[in-house]
Amino acid sequence: MKKCHRWQRILILSLLSFSVFAPIVLVSQRLKTLTSFGGKEFAEDLPSVNYMRDVLRLNSIEQEAAEGLKGPKLVVFNDKDISSVVRRSSYEDRDSDQFRNAQDDSKLLEANETNGNGKDEHQIQQTIIQMNSREKGQFNQEKGRDDQRLQSPFNVVDEKVKQMRDQLITAKAYLSFEPPGSNSRLMKELRARIRELERVVGEVSRDSDLPMSASQKMRSMELSLAKASRVFPDCSAMATKLRAMAYNAEEQVQVMRNQESHLLQLAGRTTPKGFHCLSMRLTAEYFLLRPEERQFPNQQNVNDPDLYHYAVLSDNVLAASVVVNSTISSAKEPEKIVFHVMADSLNLPAISMWFLLNPPGKATIHVQSIENFDWLSTKYNSTLNEQKSYDPRYSSALNHLRFYLPDIFPALNKIVLFDHDVVVQRDLTEIWSIDMKGKVNGAVETCLESEASFRSIRMFMYFSDPFLARRFNANVCTWAFGMNLFDLHEWRRKNLTMLYRNYLQLGLKRSLWKGGSLPIGWITFYNQTVALEKRWHTLGLGYNSDVPPGDIENAAVIHYDGVMKPWLETGIAKYKGYWSKHLLHDHPYLQQCNIHE
């Protein structure tokens, strides 16, 4: 009995051993076969698997983005959209390249299969070399196309930044279609994509400044926008929303422009800190002088009608000094020049002290205060003080003092009047021989619409008023203040100062023109102005950054009319040198007050 059980155990163990070792032997034999014959084929099948996986993944993305986008194209702009053309061509090139690469990959797989079937490896190497040379040629062609795009005059600079901003606008437009209280998954996705893209773009203006993740964020946004287009397929609603957004953007731009204009006007009325420092120092020094030390030399020339008399109205020390210095430095006969500087009582001490410290060479300087003209308040009933304007430059008595020149200089027959924001670049002796043809004012005209200095009388005068419409031609040619030659003898004979006062009093009773002395000057000297050649006076350096350089170089006088004066930080930088070269930069007062170029 025991012997029987023992043989049964031996049989069972034998069967178990066979069942364990038999599969091992069979598998080892099969592995040898695979290693010798199919190993290369199995390894070479892996790239084809990866390739098919990539193709399937790309095809799935293209199909997902394409669904629901079929339909008529909405043309928003009628002009040529160069950027869309460039983007479309780049996408077509990329798709064709992918197709060619797929064909090349399939050829490589076929070559591998033939190698697995016993083909010669030399043929496969030749195939790979041909493919590499083709890829190299394609790369050179692509590089050439890219170079042509970069050199093309229609090249869109920083296209990726522009495209990302367009995506943000479109995504926000889709968000506006969301019903109130809605919190759908698509809206959450759009908000997330907008936040991501805004963080990427930020204040970036060039493609080179974008982070590496920018392309991925763009692709994610494209997918989200494609989903939104399926949910909101109404093109007319999208066009209406984009039109409203464009209208709102235009309104915001206009508001910003108005704010910019207001700030520039405000900056034009300010006095730089250094100028205030200089004025205070000069004023303090002036009051330390004895009365006899405050007198200027050569005062016998002040009323000599045979000399060349120039006048400037100013409350700015350095501005007046530049006008005087540039005029005298450009003159061939400076000893024949008499310069009359008229200021208010506040700035008279500083201006007087400056010219006492820095006399104008052989020329004669004469500084006067408007408060010294006692006849002005008694004879004309203080009409100047009744001016109303938000801008003190227009309402100040100093600005309107130009209409009283025959009374200020009763002994003179002619005078050239400068604004204090001009620079003289040529000798002005020739201007005194101009034939005035019996008229009072010689000035450069500003009635050519093709020029930036164009001023229409309709822009400043309200011709809806019967008085203006009856007495003046609305199409009359206008002219500019800044450099004017006045025949004081004809002015007195025609009593134009009284005419000015009548117009001024009438303008105080009802609105006839915009603020300033220019409109009332046009009607005071109506039909009393002779046109000067353009070379005498070039305008626009205080507001126009595109004044032709030739006009500036050939001009006898350049004028910084406008609010961007050369002594302010808001001045046009490329024009400041014409003005600053006439400053005495090494003067100790300018250095102490930190006044530089």
For the stretch 205-251, pLDDT in tens is 788 888 888 888 888 988 988 888 887 777 777 777 777 878 888 88
Higher pLDDT, 168 or 40: 168
Q: How far apart are CA 12 and CA 585, in angstroms?
A: 117
Nearest Cα neighbor of 333 from 428, 412, 424, 425 is: 428
In degrees and rounded to multiples of 5, residue 93 shows phi and psi of: -60, -40
Predicted pLDDT of residue 398: 82
Query: At the top level of CATH, which class does the domain 273-592 belong to?
Result: alpha beta
**The 3-state secondary structure of 185-201, one letter per residue:** HHHHHHHHHHHHHHHHH
Judge contact between 64 and 226, C-beta under 8 A: yes
What does the pLDDT average to over 19-24? 71
Residue 377 banded pLDDT, cuts 50, 70, 90:
low
Judge contact between 317 and 275, C-beta under 8 A: yes
Judge contact between 371 and 344, C-beta under 8 A: yes
Judge contact between 446 and 455, C-beta under 8 A: yes
Is the per-residue pLDDT at 273 higher than 80?
yes
Is the per-residue pLDDT at 477 higher than 50?
yes
Q: How far apart are CA 461 and CA 521, in angstroms?
A: 12
Is the per-residue pLDDT at 278 higher than 90?
yes
**364 pairs with which residues across the strands?**
338
Residues with Cβ within 8 Å of 78's Cβ and at least 6 positions away in sequence, in order, are: none
Q: What percent of the chain has pLDDT over 90?
A: 40
Reported as a single tens digit per residue, the pLDDT across 167-212 is 888 888 877 777 665 668 888 888 898 988 888 888 777 888 888 8
- CA 595 remoteness from chain centre: 27
Predicted pLDDT of residue 9: 77
CB atoms within 10 A of CB 235: 13
CB atoms within 10 A of CB 31: 11
* Least trusted range by pLDDT, from 25-34, 115-124, 227-236, 562-571: 115-124
Q: How far apart are CA 409 and CA 382, in angstroms?
A: 20
Judge contact between 438 and 504, C-beta under 8 A: no
Judge contact between 521 and 538, C-beta under 8 A: no
- For the chain, helix (H) and strand (E) counts, in that order, are 22, 9
What does the pLDDT average to over 544-563? 94
Is the per-residue pLDDT at 63 higher than 90?
no
Q: How far apart are CA 316 and CA 579, in angstroms?
A: 14
| Six token digits for residue 543 | 């507001």
The DSSP letter of residue 445 is: B
Predicted pLDDT of residue 386: 56
Nearest Cα neighbor of 401 from 523, 299, 521, 270 is: 521
| Six token digits for residue 167 | 């995506």
3-state secondary structure of 71: coil
Is the per-residue pLDDT at 40 higher than 70?
no
What does the pLDDT average to over 139-145? 47
Q: How far apart are CA 108 and CA 218, in angstroms?
A: 33
How many residues would you count in the chain?
597
Nearest Cα neighbor of 478 from 516, 430, 531 is: 531
Going 462 to 463 to 464 to 468, the CA torsion angle's sign is: positive
Q: Which residues of 395-422 are buried (b: 16+ CB within 10 A; e: fewer)?
A: bbbbbbbbbbbbbbbeebbbbbbbbbbb
In degrees and rounded to multiples of 5, residue 26 shows phi and psi of: -65, -45
DSSP of 242-285: HHHHHHHHHHHHHHHHHHHHHHHHHHHT---HHHHHHHHHHHHH
H or E stretch at 558: strand 557-559
Domain ranges of the chain: 40-56+89-115+122-143, 159-268, 273-592
Tell me how far CA of residue 352 lies from CA of 156, 360, 415, 478, 586, in angstroms: 59, 12, 21, 35, 20
Nearest Cα neighbor of 337 from 440, 424, 434 is: 424
One-letter amino acid at 561 equals D
Tell me how far CA of residue 436 lies from CA of 207, 491, 525, 531, in angstroms: 62, 12, 13, 9
Nearest Cα neighbor of 415 from 483, 480, 331, 465 is: 483
Is the per-residue pLDDT at 68 higher than 60?
no
Predicted pLDDT of residue 29: 60
